[in-house]
Amino acid sequence: MSSLKDSSLHSSLRQPAFDLIQTIIVSDATALMYSVLNCCTTPSTDRGITDGVIELDDENDDISLPAFPDSKEKDNSCSWSHFNVQSGITSQDCREWMCIPMLWVDVLVDINPSILPVSFSKAVFWARSRFPLIEYENSAEMVLPNRSFLSSYAPEISSSFGWKVPTGSDDGGDGNKSKNSVEVLTMSHPLLRTFIRFLTQASLYIYVM
């Protein structure tokens, strides 16, 4: 996160951080989608979610993105097809996937997208396009601060919003769950709802830039 925010760093030093966060956004979107559709669906699963989420296939590779200010940027590593390849890899491991919601807050809510490359915006729109029929937000929800939204509409994961310092080098290892991560398999509904909210906020901000 320090590398993402530090504009004084040379772009070559920041690029690995950009690549990582874009991969996380694409992978989290895929894991959440597949978890709801293929991994976590049970009779008690919210049918509004399972009916609403749809997957865009390769025929949608040519989907039009917004006109970004830096039209000169050409990065083949962040093309729509590249995101689809990454999605295919992640979909094979959806049952084991863990999300870190505080990363979403840091990069989709707290960072001004103008300090990030165009490839970041492409990843955001790719991820948002995975859920074209889901519109959780209504006018009442959108006026709520994010913390209030979480306590009201995603209380199951609200405790994960706040970085927790690891207690040792084995934190998250040897079968121990990281204190900053949430298992998609058990929390797909609130994770999905929150992820879509933050993606929508970021998308709207990018559009008005």
pTM here? 0.78
Q: What is the pLDDT of residue 47?
A: 44
At 3, the pLDDT band (50, 70, 90 cuts) reads confident
Amino acid at position 34, single letter: Y
Q: What is the pLDDT of residue 105?
A: 92
Q: What is the pLDDT of residues 148-200, one digit of tens each?
A: 888 888 889 988 888 877 666 555 556 667 778 999 988 988 999 899 889 98
Q: What is the pLDDT of residue 82?
A: 86
Q: What is the pLDDT of residue 174?
A: 60
Q: What is the pLDDT of residues 60-82, one digit of tens each?
A: 444 444 444 443 444 444 577 88
DSSP structure string for 123-188: HHHHHHHT-TT-----HHHHTS-HHHHHHHH-GGGGGGSS----SSTTTT-TTPPPTT-EEHHHHH
Q: Which residue has the higher pLDDT, 161 or 57?
A: 161
Q: What is the pLDDT of residue 104?
A: 94
Phi, psi torsion values for 183, nearest 5 degrees? -75, 125
Q: What is the pLDDT of residue 116?
A: 86
Mean pLDDT in residue range 18-32: 93
DSSP code of 44? T
Instruction: Give the 3-state secondary structure percentages of the chain, helix then strand then coil, rounded to 5.
Output: 60, 0, 35
Q: Which residue has the higher pLDDT, 173 or 5?
A: 5
Q: What is the pLDDT of residues 95-137, one digit of tens each?
A: 889 999 999 999 999 988 878 888 899 999 999 988 875 555 5
